[in-house]
Amino acid sequence: DLICSHVQTGILQDEQIINNWLIEKRHPYYVWAKLIKKSVYEKAFECIPDIFCTMKEDFLQYFFISLHAKKFVGIPNFFHNYYIGSGLSTTKNIVDLESWNKICSAASVYTTIFDYLSNEKNDNEIGKAVAYDAEFTLGKSILRLKNNLEPKKIRFVSSENLISNHDAHKKS
């Protein structure tokens, strides 16, 4: 599936960047769709500890990039097509321990951000937005796991239906 996320055109500065992305949901966090100054990326990486993460790594990087960036310039041109399901971190189905570990690695992303917020920045709106994303991601993961573990084509029937069906077969 090809996705084209909405593009924030125009100029954003300082805290407008994180607010526009995380709170207002006006532009995506994917780092592959952006040109980022090396100095901003380096500042962002200084805030990220050495963690294992194969899911939501763009979210983690862009969180700190959006905090350190002074300017965001959005243009309407598309230069890159991204296909869902083609990357390393793609896990549509949880079928083995490796795919479960990928999903669980997102927890380290949120832990890193919440640690930063508790120590450095007291912005309640940002914390709420990160918590919402964490709950949404966790909810999706639990549904994926549940869907992969449920036996297929099992019909639950009440005891009353079983008795009435049995009696109907006896009469015929």
What does the pLDDT read at residue 6?
A: 65
Give the sign of the dihedral formed by CA 23, CA 29, CA 35, CA 38.
positive
How far apart are alpha carbons 26 and 19 in whole angstroms? Answer: 9
Q: Taking a C-beta distance cutoff of 8 angstroms, is the pair 137, 56 a contact?
A: yes
Query: If pLDDT is split at 50, 70 and 90, which confidence band does 162 have?
Result: very low
The larger pLDDT score, comparing residue 132 to residue 165, is at 132
Residue 74 burial by CB count (10 A; 0-12/13-18/19+): exposed, middle or buried? middle
Q: Name the more confident of 87 and 148.
A: 148
The structure's pTM equals 0.73
> In the numeric block, which tokens belong to residue 161?
């239906």
pLDDT tens profile 4-54:
456 678 899 999 999 999 999 888 888 777 888 999 999 999 999 999 888
3-state SS of 117-162 is HHHCCCCHHHHHHHHHHHHHHHHHHHHHHHHHHCCCCCCCCCHHHH
* Averaged pLDDT, 81-102: 63
Q: Report the C-alpha gap between 134 and 110 in whole angstroms.
A: 7
DSSP secondary structure of the chain: -EE------EEEETHHHHIIIIIS--S---GGG----HHHHHHHHHT--S---SSSHHHHHHHHHHHH-SEEEE-S-----EETT-STT--SS--SHHHHHHHHTHHHHHHHHHHHHHHT---HHHHHHHHHHHHHHHHHHHHHHHHHHSPTT-----HHHHHHHHHHHHH-
